[in-house]
Amino acid sequence: MQNGISVEKQASSKLMTITLLSSDPKFDEIYLSNYATLNVLDMLRRIPGVGRVSNVGSRYYAMQIWVQPDKLADLGVTVQDLQKALKDQNRESAAGVLGQAPMEGVDVTIPITAQGRLSSVSQFEEIVVRGNPDGSIIRLRDVANISLEAQSYSTESGIDGGNAAVMDIYMLPGANAIEVAESVKATMEEISR
């Protein structure tokens, strides 16, 4: 999620709409939308004359945690307990280096690495929600279903019944529409290789 203010110049009307699709069904709409965001949008934005490129109906991957209230109640766990466990065990922290200045007489430095933010379903499933006095542990997987899915399902994009990522191209005021469109097509052809 981005914060702050972004200002972009663009003509008031859309120049063109392009579609990123795959004949392979394993590349679903979420994958294609993420691929477009990570690999295509910036390339298109660098084309001379392009003012803005938007990923229409963009879908981003997000870890979805579906809490099971009945299991929470049975185990005496609250939603606040889950929030605290997620916050405490899914944070980025600086680790450092052993043997670095101001230490003297040390010939070797050893970097300290930290796990950092969690990224897989299995890592989230292993989050410890609570340790019990009898030594048993309640993990997130015990009280919730976790899956990597779309962040939102409010929009969809596709073409001819297949999965797709749709991008709108707006040009800069005064740019030559034909030149910009040809450059966009050439860039997409290059990306498709």
* Per-residue pLDDT band at 30 (split at 50, 70, 90): confident
Question: For the ranges 33-37, 99-103, 128-132, 167-171, which has the lowest average pLDDT?
Answer: 99-103
- Exposure string for 167-183, b = 16+ CB within 10 A, e = fewer: bebbbbeebeeeebbeb
From residue 159, give the alpha-carbon distance in Å to each of 60, 165, 166, 170: 19, 9, 9, 21
Q: What is the pLDDT of residue 116?
A: 62
Q: What is the pLDDT of residue 134?
A: 94
Q: Which residue has the tokens 């976790």?
A: 146
Residue 79: enclosing H or E segment and its boundaries?
helix 79-89
Q: What is the pLDDT of residue 68?
A: 93
Which carries the bigger pLDDT value, residue 153 or residue 93?
A: 153
Q: What is the pLDDT of residue 4?
A: 65
Other beta carbons less than 10 A from residue 25's beta carbon: 8
Whether the per-residue pLDDT at 137 is higher than 90: the answer is yes
| Protein fold of 61-90+114-150 | 3.30.2090
Q: What is the pLDDT of residue 3?
A: 62
Other beta carbons less than 10 A from residue 42's beta carbon: 10
Structure confidence by residue, pLDDT tens digits, 38-96: 899 999 999 999 999 988 877 777 788 899 999 999 999 999 999 999 888 876 655 66
The CATH number fitting domain 14-60+153-191, selected from 3.40.30.10, 1.10.10.10, 3.40.109.10, 3.30.70.1320: 3.30.70.1320
Whole-angstrom distance, CA of residue 41 vs CA of residue 159? 19
Question: For the ranges 116-125, 147-156, 174-183, which has the lowest average pLDDT?
Answer: 147-156
Whether the per-residue pLDDT at 147 is higher than 80: the answer is yes
Whether the per-residue pLDDT at 117 is higher than 60: the answer is yes
Q: What are phi and psi of 66, to 5 degrees?
A: -100, 100
Domain ranges of the chain: 14-60+153-191, 61-90+114-150
Q: What is the mean pLDDT of the chain?
A: 83
Q: What is the pLDDT of residue 119?
A: 77
